[in-house]
Amino acid sequence: MLLFQWFVVLFGWRIIEFYQGKLILIPCVLSTTYSIINFMANVEKLLKKMRSNMLDWRIEHFETIANRFKVEVCKTGGSHVIFRHEQWAESLSVPARRPIKPIYVKQFLKLIDILLEEEML
């Protein structure tokens, strides 16, 4: 259902209701500014949750945050995902298995903080 919702939002349709087993859709005008602001707010909430609880995170969460900060995500086909950014002195290699250990969450947040400081300047 989530993939379908993204499809609906992406192509400008809004779900009204299920009526007699059928999905009713109507076209709507989407504001790209609202979508970008909403996405950024969701990433900020995700970062806040990640800082308060470093347990039970998945690689998809890391990728969502990485996309917001334009961090390069390298999937080598192995068991690790590598995160790189031009402003980081080192890259971060994170095991893609679930759940990700808190030490990797802490390292990832430390590198994201570097990018947040650069945005503030």
Question: Residue 121: how many CA atoms within 13 Å on its side-chain side?
Answer: 6
CA–CA dist 87, 93 (Å, integer): 16
Q: Are 85 and 73 in contact (CB under 8 A)?
A: no
How high is the pLDDT of residue 14? 47
pLDDT of 27 higher than 80:
no
Q: Is residue 99 reached through a cis peptide bond, with omega within 30 degrees of 0 on the bond before it?
A: yes
Each residue's pLDDT tens digit, 87-105? 888 899 999 887 899 999 9
In the chain, where the domains are located: 54-120
Confidence class for position 15, pLDDT limits 50, 70, 90: very low
